[in-house]
Structure 1
Amino acid sequence: MMKNILIKGLVLLGILVLFLGACACGSSPNGEDVGQVLDLTGAPDEENTKAPVEGDVAEGDKQVELKQEIDAEKVSQEKAQAPPAALPKEADTKGEDKNLALAQPEKPVLAEQVTLRVTKNFGREIIFHETVPIKKDWTVMDLLQAHLEVETKWDGGFVNGINGLESEKGGIRKERQDWFFYVNGVCADGGAAAYRLQSNDQVWWDYHLWNNMGSAISALVGSYPEPFIHSYRGKGGPVTVMSSPQDQHLAEKTVKALKAQGAAKVAIGSLDVAAMENRKGPVLVLGVWDDLKEITWLAKFNEAYRKTGMGVHFTDGGVELFTSHGELGETVKESAGIIAATGAGLGDENPLWLLVGTDAQGLNEAVKILTESPKKISGMYQAAVVSGKVLRLPLEPK
């Protein structure tokens, strides 16, 4: 038993010695903690410079990732708790649009315009022919003076000469010639300074003989589609196309052509004598002469050909065509069609037009020219259609 006690005592003594040795290794000779002593030699500590094992790196990465997740979560919470940032205000474009609209330049106002034609010898010689702009309140005189050299008389109200071509009173050696002007196919009843223009008017000055053809030719066809669109002074009434029942299909064709040209109010009517004589608007009569001559008023009108200045006279044997001197120029016995105009004196706002054939073929040719090829009569006073050819009336003297 004593032996066992002795053995246990020796074991305890050995443990005590080992404990005291371990305490001596954990302190410096002066009692300082070894962990607090700095190595100033710069030599790396062998224990600290050992290469890290894979497990140590993985553990460090996990800690870094964990820290990043915590930081991200914190930032997310801070953003969620922060008041929402003020959104930028939408630009007020309405005000800008208004300003832009005000700043936009006004659209240019298109100038009003008219057609000015100046000719000699019933349109045969062209001196000037253009579509030109006009100013507000311009008169025919203003228009003429803006484009040509004009000599006036009677306090500037009437034209005495254009481009050096002056009026001739006539006499033993000279024929009587003068300037006449037409607006929309109607001879004016006053001076050029008194007629105020309207947009799209057709103004035509012509220098010609007038001692044997009446005081003046009151209307002409060469300004077609006037006077059916704007009329003289813009005061013309609705247009009426008159025909016999057998020629109504030609009347319908004429009405269609007039509407295509811009005529607003056009109607078809029967051959009404009262409506021909007391016109409330421009009247266009079409038919074959053998039918029309049964109307007394038209028969008398035909016999007054020298006074009307039309230069056309229907006979039982055909139609006579006269010169500007009032002389018989040609008698047409075959088919012929006449396109002519006249008025009840000067300035007639509602002139009378005639589309008359010596027979059905002549009538068809006249209607065809007016409705399908109106340019062929442009610039003519009156016209005759013979064998498909358009003749200018009055004829030239031989």
Structure 2
Amino acid sequence: MKRKDWLLLVLAVVLIGGIGFGMLQYRLSHQQPDSPQMSEGANKPAAQSGPAVQLWITRDFGAQTLTVQRVPLEPGDTVMDILKRHGGEVKTAYGGGFVESIQGLASAYRPGDEKSRKLDWFYSVNGLMADIGAAEYALAPGDVVWWDYHDWSFAAAAPAQVGAYPQPFVQMAGKAGAEIAIMAEDGYDGKARQVAEMLKKLTGKAPQVIAWDESAFRQEKALLVIGEAKQLAASPFLQALWKEKATSGLFADLSDRGIQAYDEQGKAGRLYDQKGAGALLATVHPEFRLPLWIAAGVGAEGVDQVVQVLNQERAGQPDDRVRGHYGLIVNGNDTIPLPLPSGAGGAP
């Protein structure tokens, strides 16, 4: 397939994803909601042994933490079961399949009301937004369940987050026939091998390390790409993704000038152009819906900074700097979560 045809296919799939989200909203707007029901067993103490999952409840793209706890997993438990038992006060609507409110934070969007704000709860499992309802998603031991309350007026979908690292790759490693690859720009194969060694340690499966090849984006595998911002910015595939930030959930893009960060409304904030700045971003492949991560830096120093985040361990666990964020900028000693808060054009 010619490069131009491939890019057109990518854009078409991304647009279809956005349309699918719109259809979901249409369906919700044409149903009559049930009376919200209070969850049973809220604030039940969590067991300290046996099968368990992590439950995270945050708001504003992870900016504020409401709940982080390890909770017991019972046979047949779904995301909704875990939330109702351990998420505090939970109210649901639409037959119990839609979360109306958690801990007093309620959906603000009202179909047909132009004055209502697009504020709702969204959930992901292991750093990937699910494509089925919370009452249908069956959990496995070790899963990370993440509920976040945020404004979706710009980002109608944020299909992946870096904050549950390394869970997306752990899940891929556990699937028969699934492939994980780390693709490095020229000069960064050594950094790619370092990350591969860490992922092997964390997941039990060694990823492939491959040289840069644009055709790799047409292969069905989880992919982490590493390189300088100016190098990655030249990729036609990545350029197509950045043009669809509202559905790819990427709150930064790359250019030969550096790393441009965006706020939750999609407005450009600070441009990180000094050597040593780096970005860690996550989305999914628009066709295969598999993890697609980007580790980019301004100069070799920036690439080194973001690779250190992926490789850093504390007490056998990944670096805390990445936990609970949708994306991340590393700027010297500072770590800046993405998206930026609204109007944060002068973020550090």
TM-score, shorter chain, exceeding 0.5: yes
- How has the CA–CA distance of structure 1 residues 120 and 294 changed in structure 2, closer, same or farther, with 3 Å as cutoff? closer
Structure 1 residue aligned with 2:300: 360
Distance in 1 (CA, whole Å) between partners of 2:177 and 2:124 is: 15
Bigger shift: residues 217-226 or 311-320: 311-320
Residue-pair matches, total:
286
Structure 2 residue aligned with 1:259: 200
Distance in 2 (CA, whole Å) between partners of 1:326 and 1:232 is: 33
Shift of residue 303, structure 1, vs aligned partner: 3.4
Shift of residue 233, structure 1, vs aligned partner: 10
- How has the CA–CA distance of structure 1 residues 219 and 160 changed in structure 2, closer, same or farther, with 3 Å as cutoff? same
Say which structure, 1 or 2, has more relative contact order (CA 8 Å, 6+ apart): 2
Distance in 2 (CA, whole Å) between partners of 1:358 and 1:312 is: 13
Structure 1 residue aligned with 2:83: 144
Distance in 2 (CA, whole Å) between partners of 1:333 and 1:306 is: 23
Query: Is the Cα–Cα contact under 8 Å of residues 311 and 323 in structure 1 kept in the other structure?
Result: yes
Bigger shift: residues 239-248 or 296-305: 296-305
Q: Helix, strand or coil for the counterpart of 1:208?
A: strand
1:393 pairs with 2:334: no
Query: Is the Cα–Cα contact under 8 Å of residues 218 and 344 in structure 1 kept in the other structure?
Result: no
Structure 2 residue aligned with 1:181: 123
Task: Specify which of 218, 231, 234 is matched with residue 159 of structure 2.
Answer: 218
Deviations 1:95-119 (A, max 9, x none): xxxxxxxxxxxxxxx6211000001
1:112 pairs with 2:51: yes
CA RMSD of aligned residues (A): 2.2
Deviations 1:239-281 (A, max 9, x none): 111113411110010011111212424111122323324433x
Counting helix residues as a fraction of each chain, which structure ranks higher?
1
Shift of residue 366, structure 1, vs aligned partner: 0.5
Structure 2 matches for 1:15-94, cutoff 5 A? none
**Runs of 5+ in structure 2 lacking a partner?**
1-48, 314-318, 344-348
Distance in 2 (CA, whole Å) between partners of 1:278 and 1:359 is: 28
Task: Specify which of 313, 322, 327 is matched with residue 377 of structure 1.
Answer: 322
Distance in 2 (CA, whole Å) between partners of 1:209 and 1:314 is: 24
**Runs of 5+ in structure 1 lacking a partner?**
1-109
Distance in 1 (CA, whole Å) between partners of 2:67 and 2:77 is: 19
1:134 pairs with 2:134: no
Structure 2 residue aligned with 1:50: none
Counting strand residues as a fraction of each chain, which structure ranks higher?
2
Distance in 2 (CA, whole Å) between partners of 1:299 and 1:251 is: 22
Which amino acid in the other structure matches residue 77 of structure 2?
A: W
TM-score, normalising length from structure 1? Answer: 0.67
Shift of residue 204, structure 1, vs aligned partner: 0.3
Structure 2 residue aligned with 1:269: 210
1:237 pairs with 2:182: no
Structure 2 matches for 1:7-22, cutoff 5 A? none
Distance in 1 (CA, whole Å) between partners of 2:84 and 2:249 is: 29
- How has the CA–CA distance of structure 1 residues 316 and 272 changed in structure 2, closer, same or farther, with 3 Å as cutoff? closer
Shift of residue 351, structure 1, vs aligned partner: 1.1
- How has the CA–CA distance of structure 1 residues 279 and 394 changed in structure 2, closer, same or farther, with 3 Å as cutoff? same
Distance in 1 (CA, whole Å) between partners of 2:338 and 2:282 is: 11
Query: Is the Cα–Cα contact under 8 Å of residues 188 and 346 in structure 1 kept in the other structure?
Result: no
Query: Is the Cα–Cα contact under 8 Å of residues 52 and 71 in structure 2 kept in the other structure?
Result: yes
Q: Percent identity of the aligned residues?
A: 31
Task: Specify which of 180, 190, 200 is matched with residue 132 of structure 2.
Answer: 190
Distance in 2 (CA, whole Å) between partners of 1:346 and 1:162 is: 33
1:343 pairs with 2:284: yes
Bigger shift: residues 367-376 or 184-193: 367-376
- How has the CA–CA distance of structure 1 residues 235 and 308 changed in structure 2, closer, same or farther, with 3 Å as cutoff? farther
Distance in 1 (CA, whole Å) between partners of 2:341 and 2:288 is: 26
Distance in 1 (CA, whole Å) between partners of 2:258 and 2:288 is: 32
Shift of residue 345, structure 1, vs aligned partner: 5.6
Task: Specify which of 93, 96, 114 is matched with residue 153 of structure 1.
Answer: 93
Which amino acid in the other structure matches residue 334 of structure 2?
A: K
Bigger shift: residues 354-363 or 227-236: 227-236
